[in-house]
Structure 1
Amino acid sequence: MSNTANDAQMDRRTRKRLATRQAISDAATCLFMERGFDQVTIDEIANAADVGRMTVFNHFPRKEDMFFDREEEARNLAFDTIRSRPSGTSPIEALGALAHQMIEQPSEAFPLFEHTQAFVETALASETLKARGRQMRDHFVQDLAAL
């Protein structure tokens, strides 16, 4: 989530808010991976995270936002890779190299992708998540074209 230097700079309220968000995300992820996205309710996530239902919605307006809570981190990784690519390297080549690097060192250098197979299987089993995934893809492509 953050390092010690950043923690020291954050006020107590911010640290508590981020910890609550992470607890909700962790609880939701465990439940989604165990039972599938569509079989998990917001109330079950709230109970598992030991928060109220409204607290869940304060942090995640939609259930699928909990599933894709690291979308921004993944997008930033992709865009940073493209922006920092060596001269003469196409964006596709840079992203391909990133993909190979993630495959070779899945959890060491890229903890975001540690549970990719279970994540993809869960996403593909839900029409809601597939639709949200298409929206995210379309937005990514638009942003990519603007680079």
Structure 2
Amino acid sequence: MTEVPVGRRERKKAATRQAIADAALRLFLERGYDQVGIRDIADEADVSTTTLFKHFTGKEALVFDQEGDREAELVAAVRDRPAGQDVLDALRQHVLDTWLPIAAHPQAAEFNDLVDSTPELRAYAERMWTRHAGSLAAAIADETGVDRDDLVCAALARFVLEIPSLARGRQDRRAAVETLFDLLAHGWKPPSQPPAHP
């Protein structure tokens, strides 16, 4: 008997995980978060609840199924950036490459409404955001050779993570992201005022 390659097993696990997450989001958007139970999601994905819990820690985690990958990618954007590229430029490119497609997704508004209107999901998102900020600040500190509790690195990480939220409602999201990174790169300058007329 031949052994199943590890790659196939991992692909099958990833496909099951994605099917569960897709089923959960579909049900949450159709019925509302509070009206959907774990059993409903397992049935929709055609898996047992035991299988569901092998992939997800709880109901909130089903909504943010890719956040572990996003956190790792954020840190990698800093640590694995090309030689000669500074940290801020690497983060700018990462946000443009990863967040703009997410923001343009047809279900983005529905997803944001679901999170914003559900206290448990808002709280989970806040804990996740704080964890991401800590990981990113540590990566920035490591790359710049300062202590991991450096205040400037912590502030930069928090601001970078806030950029998608600040740019979300803008008509030209790319321009908004660029403007906010320009602010970080060059500092704040008061908006120019038209000259006063006598």
TM-score (norm 2): 0.56
Determine the structure 2 residue equivalent to 1:129: 121
Q: Distance in 1 between matches of 2:112 and 2:7?
A: 36
Q: Distance in 2 between matches of 1:113 and 1:77?
A: 19
Larger Rg belongs to: 2
1:41 to partner: Cα distance: 1.1
Letter in 1 for 2:19: A
User: 1:80 is matched with which residue: 68, 76, 79?
Assistant: 76
Higher relative contact order (CA 8 A, sep 6+): 1
Determine the structure 1 residue equivalent to 2:55: 59
Alignment gaps of 5+ in structure 2: 140-198
Q: Which piece of structure 1 moves more, 70-79 or 113-122?
A: 113-122
1:144 to partner: Cα distance: 1.5
Letter in 1 for 2:92: G
Determine the structure 2 residue equivalent to 1:89: 86
Q: Distance in 2 between matches of 1:69 and 1:90?
A: 27
SS, match of residue 68 in structure 2: helix
The count of corresponding residues between Structure 1 and Structure 2 is 134
**Contact 1:102–1:113 (Cα < 8 Å) also in 2:** no
**Contact 2:74–2:136 (Cα < 8 Å) also in 1:** no
The CA deviation string for residues 23-57 of structure 1, in whole angstroms up to 9 with x for no partner, is 21121121122233222111110110112222222
**Contact 1:21–1:59 (Cα < 8 Å) also in 2:** yes
Q: Distance in 2 between matches of 1:100 and 1:116?
A: 16
Q: Distance in 2 between matches of 1:124 and 1:20?
A: 27
Q: Which piece of structure 1 moves more, 114-123 or 13-22?
A: 13-22
SS, match of residue 86 in structure 2: coil
Q: CA RMSD in A?
A: 2.8
> Alignment identity in percent?
35
